[in-house]
Amino acid sequence: MWFIFPIIFRLHSSSAFSLYFLSLESGKQRKKMRTAMLRSIRASVQRSSRSYSSESAPARKVAVLGAAGGIGQPLALLMKLNPLVSSLSLYDIAGTPGVAADVSHINTRSEVVGYMGEENLGKALEGADVVIIPAGVPRKPGMTRDDLFNINAGIVKGLCTAIAKYCPHALVNMISNPVNSTVPIASEVFKKAGTYDEKRLFGVTTLDVVRAKTFYAGKAKVPVAGVNVPVVGGHAGVTILPLFSQATPQANGLSDEEIVALTKRTQDGGTEVVEAKAGKGSATLSMAYAGAIFADACLKGLNGVPDVIECSFVQSNITELPFFASKVRLGKNGVEEVLGLGSLSDFEKQGLEALMPELKSSIEKGIKFANQ
């Protein structure tokens, strides 16, 4: 833009001076805007981990298994931005060196190493504090639950066998679907290896919570940043039960019909994305975000931050089922406390009763697969 000023001077010197100073002022404003934007981005990245600076936070290694996939790549990026992570280990059967090289150029605390191929899985896992598992195939149009299960269950079983050997004390965050079955598979693999600790195995159901918050905020016309909605049950279809009666802030103006519609949309959120992508993908970006949120909560718990509470699918005795998603208090040992369901509306009580048979079947299917 600077080349225009000689011309303006020849046309009208007083106008030129005015435009010159306006341009300077505009440049200052743009600089201020850029500075403010950078500060905002950095603040948003570090907000959930504000209890520690990178210098004071303990060294923590996070391993992402399936890091070259549709969920794994954005998840790797988000974990690289987390100041609580000092070592980021990225593993997949192919493509990992490129992902690791790309992410490693980001100027944040963690050192990044990529590992490719089953022969390097042990190295990827050694010393890990948190292991996140998004490995597996995504759900595609026309794919049955059995199709998805048969592929991903085998992948999860193999990865968990390695976790039991190389980092038996790590917190394991299971993203691979169907979570209602893959978490029980992992538990059985760990039991066989003699390393099972129910406090350290989590099914990541955070995406259900993220969706419930977003949909509720939109319908209730409240700022989404201040919304909280617990989601209980499982992580598939009817087993997903958002407790909108416990949502905060409470929107008294929502009708029963609107609550039913919000519940249905939360349950069908994955299908909504699959259909919108026209068979070319599933919920990868929002799932990566949800996975990063839950991993951050686990890291804060490990580091001693008090009152870290998230919903997760864990071993539980709050129902007759061995696994159930509910609010969980996280701490230095993983699960510090599995919190109860609280007061339910009549509609939620019906939903709870309806989800139990399907969730029970999915859990039993996972246990049976692991013991074959």
Mean pLDDT, residues 189-204: 98
Portion of the chain with pLDDT greater than 90, in percent? 78
Mean pLDDT, residues 230-241: 97
pLDDT score of 27: 54
Mean pLDDT, residues 323-349: 98
CB-CB contact of 226 with 241 (8 Å): no
pLDDT score of 210: 98
Q: Judge whether residue 170 has pLDDT over 50.
A: yes
Q: Which residues pair with 201 in a beta bridge?
A: 172
Of the listed ranges 44-48, 90-94, 356-360, the one predicted with least confidence: 44-48
pLDDT score of 252: 80
Report the alpha-carbon distance of residue 76 to residue 134 in Å, rounded: 11
Of the listed ranges 192-196, 199-203, 215-219, 252-256, the one predicted with least confidence: 252-256
Say whether pTM exceeds 0.75.
yes
Active site residues: 235
Q: Judge whether residue 21 has pLDDT over 80.
A: no
CB-CB contact of 306 with 336 (8 Å): no
Report the alpha-carbon distance of residue 186 to residue 312 in Å, rounded: 15
Mean pLDDT, residues 115-139: 95
Question: Which are the contacts of 16, defined by CB distance < 8 A and separation ≥ 6?
Answer: 5, 8, 9
Of the listed ranges 15-29, 271-285, 299-313, the one predicted with least confidence: 15-29
pLDDT score of 161: 98
pLDDT score of 146: 76
Q: Judge whether residue 6 has pLDDT over 80.
A: no
Q: Judge whether residue 207 has pLDDT over 50.
A: yes
pLDDT score of 19: 38
pLDDT score of 15: 40
pLDDT score of 13: 38
Report the alpha-carbon distance of residue 133 to residue 202 in Å, rounded: 10
Q: Which residues pair with 92 in a beta bridge?
A: 116
Report the alpha-carbon distance of residue 112 to residue 205 in Å, rounded: 26
Q: Judge whether residue 12 has pLDDT over 70.
A: no
